[in-house]
Structure 1
Amino acid sequence: MSATVTDPGELVVVTGMTGAGRSTAAKELEDLGFYVVDNMPPSLLRDVVRLVDESAGRSQPVAVVVDVRSGSFFESLQANLAQGATGRRTTLLFLDASDDVLVRRQEAARRPHPLQGGGRLLDGLHRERTALADVRSNADLVIDTTTLNVHQLTDRVAEAFGTPDTTRLKISVVSFGFKYGIPVDADLVADMRFLPNPFWVPELRSMNGRDGDVADYVMGRPGALEFLDQYVPLVETVAAGYLREGKRFATIAIGCTGGKHRSVAMSEEVTQRLRDLGYDARATHRDLGRE
């Protein structure tokens, strides 16, 4: 059932030990469509949810990250969660790891522990565990990241909070002109300059690749369909690997000389084939209209 005014989005409160992966979890939740607020005092929980409700609607899922720097505010957090004051379905996610792993991660990051003071890093971790003991015991979900890498942690978060729509790969197919430069955010780049240029066909010159006559011309050239038949399965292979590595956004750049004819037509066709395969694919044309 789709979210409505009477079906508010989820609220996820992310907390846990320093170095256990709070930032990674927050980034994954953001990729899953959550509105994420980092390092938020728990006393502001209701205000943040109210502002999101007013600006984005109650169906917008929200995640807030609270850490030990909030100090005495943890009592406020527990009180807010117990009261159910936000009116949302709330999940308290606690991230943990063994002390020796947390020490190694903090040393690798070259950051002092927020509760370390003038003592050792391990002293700060012990103080943090004491401060968070009650919160951990009340958590709805505890993820131990001791043996998890970044990709495995994002998979766990996606498994817990993702939906079929938010966990599938989103593909942006961008046409461009090589004379204007390759898109800097491209994950894959394909060159359509191996096909004859419609620019040199007088009746097609003023048109672009979204026009039927141009598209038919491009797709009718030798090698065009062969390219599609081989390139789309390649994209599928790469897409499966991206998902295994926790990457859920991909940009495919398809270029020709000016970004008006061949690249546009091919981008539209690649996008349609990917959609037919079930991907969330969208075509954009960066340089169309620049000439």
Structure 2
Amino acid sequence: MKVLVTGATGFIGRHLTMLLKSKGVDFVVLGRNFVEENGIRVDLLNTQNFVEIMGKIKPTHLIHLAWYADHGKYWDSALNIEWIRATFYLLDAFYKNGGEHALVTGTCAEYDWRYGYCVENVTPEGPKTLYGESKCATRRVIELIKNQYKGTLTWARIFYPYGVDEAQARLVPSLFRFFRTEEAPFGVNSCAYRDFLHISDTVDAIYLCATNKIDEIINICSGKAVLIESIVREIASICGNNADKILKYESIRKDDPPFLVGDNQKLRALGWTQNVSLCDGLLTY
């Protein structure tokens, strides 16, 4: 098995490459920025020679994590359209050069959030953002490529990964920063429920799906509903601070669903188990 990884310097990518190293997996990273010695520096949005690159690497597996992900900006960015195109050419070149299995990361934003509880191939798709719509379109296109070359494809719908190294503007690190330094307070949708999964469990699931060549849509999630207020209170307790300093600034963003949780029965059926509880995961910050 030889794995090609994109997005290796991102939050998930950094933890995934550490996992691959620990397992002794032969892998190569592809992208503009990387710290790995075994990498090829290329701008995925401007590369026209994916076929040549794949011919040199000859990967059996592709884990495609790269996408535009600047916090707060990616939802409606035109760069989402560029990533549809780039992913199409990347996957076409991969399968054309004998690639066997690709895992591409999707998002819980592909689902119709009015349903709240998201089950693969049951809960309707109904994205309300350009990001979610672009991911849906990408999956439909690359499934056609996969079928053409008779390969296999995992479409991994990621919910809410958290952990050390995530973007500082995201909820959990923002709360830690506030309660430790008392920077400017901000509002949270404390009454909402979300599905959080520690980054180590997230990459374990990705690795399991990729190496087992799971040929379907699969949720990468805990399957557990966590009240945002409880996260605020837990982090405040860890920091020895008062949760009400944040909770009094209630904020409900436009189109913010009250309940968004994934079903992970498919994932658990593969033998995956959640190893890091939310309380233990928060203690790693």
TM-score normalised by length of structure 2: 0.33
The structure carrying a bigger helix percent of its residues is 1
For the pair shown, the structure with the greater C-alpha radius of gyration is: 1
